[in-house]
């Protein structure tokens, strides 16, 4: 799944210190991240988030994506949503099996399961792009929600706080440390390829659709969505010329 929003708030987040003392809802290792930024975190279940915000028991909250957040009722209690965050910048679904039972299955059945899981995952991803984008547009046009890009200073603070939280968990849990090291090595190689190879779509989007940009910002202190993108990475070095025979 794509990047989750930073969250829903009473007003735009302009700096990391805005989280100090904020009553905020999140779950998982994100609790460590938002707590490290100064928030008073409450890991409420999904169905209790919107009522808590409506009663003033929460100052802000994050849940998942445009469609899920809309169905849950966030636009009814907040008109400010901050997009882009590192607390859960990507999400993977998994199907878990009892290993003993799975290992006992015939190879043909294992292959069927593997292909079915891959197909279901891709089907969900493709449909999510269509569903999320429609709800994102309608929350602006119908629900009058205003979206803002999370400031880079807040994103950097998230990374710093996450590093501290992850280091603590690595010291406590060897498996966490092993998995984190594997993920980091994979990301170093693959994300560099992605940044060097794939062209940013911002220029082409602005070229064709800039006049159809989303909602205007509610306050000049916050950054609106769809700013001009900075280069993601320096240009890749050219390959060495082939040696002459």
Contacts of 69 (CB under 8 A, 6+ apart): 5, 8, 63, 75, 81
With H, G, I as helix, E, B as strand and everything else as coil, classify residue 60: strand
Contacts of 65 (CB under 8 A, 6+ apart): 1, 2, 4, 5, 128, 132
- DSSP-assigned states of every residue in 87-119: TTS---------HHHHHTS-HHHHHHHHHHHHH
CATH number of the 7-167+212-224 domain = 3.40.190.170
- DSSP-assigned states of every residue in 154-192: HHHHHHHHHHHHHHHHHHH-HHHHHHHHHHHHHHHHHHH
pLDDT one digit per residue (tens) for the chain, 245 residues: 789 999 999 999 999 999 999 999 999 999 999 999 999 999 999 999 999 999 999 999 999 999 999 999 999 999 999 999 999 887 777 788 899 999 999 999 999 999 999 999 889 889 999 999 999 999 999 999 999 999 999 999 999 999 999 999 999 999 999 999 999 999 999 999 999 999 999 999 999 998 755 545 444 445 455 444 444 444 444 444 444 44
């Amino acid at each position: 799944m794509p990047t989750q929003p930073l969250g829903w708030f009473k007003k735009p987040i302009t700096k990391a210190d805005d989280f100090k003392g904020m009553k905020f809802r999140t779950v998982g290792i994100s609790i460590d991240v938002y707590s490290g930024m100064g928030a008073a975190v409450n890991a409420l279940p999904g169905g209790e988030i919107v009522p808590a915000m409506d009663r003033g028991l929460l100052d802000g909250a994050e849940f998942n994506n445009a469609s899920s957040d809309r169905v849950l009722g966030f636009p009814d209690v907040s008109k400010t949503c901050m997009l882009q965050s590192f607390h859960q910048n990507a999400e993977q679904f998994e199907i878990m099996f009892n290993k003993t039972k799975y290992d006992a299955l015939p190879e043909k059945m294992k292959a069927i399961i593997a292909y079915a899981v891959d197909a279901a995952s891709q089907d969900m991803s493709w449909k999510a792009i269509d569903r999320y984008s429609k709800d994102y547009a309608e929350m602006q046009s119908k629900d009058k929600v205003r979206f803002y890009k999370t400031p880079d200073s807040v994103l950097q603070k998230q990374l710093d706080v996450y590093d501290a939280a992850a280091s603590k968990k690595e010291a406590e849990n060897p498996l966490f440390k092993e998995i984190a090291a594997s993920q980091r090595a994979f990301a170093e190689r693959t994300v560099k390829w992605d940044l060097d190879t794939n062209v940013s779509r911002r220029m082409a989007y602005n070229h064709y659709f800039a006049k159809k940009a989303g909602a205007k910002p509610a306050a000049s202190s916050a950054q609106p969505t769809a700013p001009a993108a900075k280069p993601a990475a320096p240009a890749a070095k050219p390959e060495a010329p082939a040696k002459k025979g």
